[in-house]
Amino acid sequence: MGFIGYIKEEMQIIKERDPAIKTPFEVFLYPSFHAIIRYRIAHKLYLQRHYFLARWFSQRTVRKTGIEIHPGATIGKGLFIDHGHGVVIGETAIVGDNVTLYQGVTLGGTGKESGKRHPTIGNNVMISAGAKILGSFTVGENSKIGAGSVVLSEVPPNSTVVGVPGRVVKRDNVKIPREDMDQVHLPDPVYSDLIRLQQENKRLMEELKRVCNRVHKLEK
């Protein structure tokens, strides 16, 4: 795809996924738009082994947009970064098609690995605000990562992950983020555990009360 093709594609992606867009020209004000277009240029320089020039170009982009995408990262079609400030994508990260990232997302390494150090993100994944995905593993396609989650291990396809550390709380979530970008109404395993404990405690107290009543009657 040529440069003009990339521009048209990115404009269409932003218009489709951000309901705040009122006019087509607003797309040119989006940091995401500039970050992705500039990444495509820097990545091409990186593949041609113009490493210094690629990094120089990408670092200028960081200062202008607040979005840091290493030129060595591999990014598919349809990446949408909503708001975007504080997003970091590492050198060996691989991002599939139709992925959505919100502000503050990190696709980083743990500092312990060499070679492939950053995560691989499957197609149609949504990663909510402030989530951190650290390490060389795969987040399966059609998955959702909840806001503020810290993911340190493999995520199966069609999963919902929340918490610190992140854990799978829902499987076979087949709706793709491009159609369902709700990053708020995700399962809360801690809340569910608390509700279950409250219910069990209530049953225990009721049973204890019955036992005490029986003992009291026997004493009479």
Regarding whether 214 and 108 lie in a shared domain, the answer is: no
CATH no. for residue 137?
2.160.10.10
pLDDT the model gives residue 213: 82
Q: Which domain does 41 fall in, by range?
A: 3-184
Overall pTM surpassing 0.85 (yes/no): no
Regarding whether 208 and 174 lie in a shared domain, the answer is: no
Q: How far is it, in rounded angstroms, from Cα 50 to Cα 68?
A: 18
Query: What rounded mean pLDDT belongs to the chain?
Result: 85
Q: Contact, 89 vs 95, CB < 8 A? A: yes
Number of independent structural domains in the chain: 2
Regarding whether 54 and 103 lie in a shared domain, the answer is: yes
pLDDT band at 32 (very low <50, low <70, confident <90, very high): confident
Regarding whether 127 and 107 lie in a shared domain, the answer is: yes
Regarding whether 146 and 58 lie in a shared domain, the answer is: yes
User: What is the percentage of the chain residues whose pLDDT exceeds 90?
Assistant: 50
Regarding whether 139 and 198 lie in a shared domain, the answer is: no
Angle at 8 between CA 6 and CA 14, to 5 degrees: 100
Regarding whether 70 and 172 lie in a shared domain, the answer is: yes
User: What is the percentage of the chain residues whose pLDDT exceeds 70?
Assistant: 88
pLDDT band at 218 (very low <50, low <70, confident <90, very high): confident
E-only strand ranges, 52-211: 68-69, 74-75, 80-81, 88-89, 94-95, 100-101, 106-108, 120-121, 126-127, 132-134, 138-139, 144-145, 150-151, 160-162, 167-170
Regarding whether 116 and 194 lie in a shared domain, the answer is: no
Regarding whether 203 and 143 lie in a shared domain, the answer is: no
Higher pLDDT, 99 or 18: 99
Q: How far is it, in rounded angstroms, from Cα 51 to Cα 59?
A: 12
pLDDT the model gives residue 191: 63
Regarding whether 167 and 212 lie in a shared domain, the answer is: no
Regarding whether 212 and 109 lie in a shared domain, the answer is: no
Residue with tokens 């049953």: 203
Regarding whether 106 and 146 lie in a shared domain, the answer is: yes
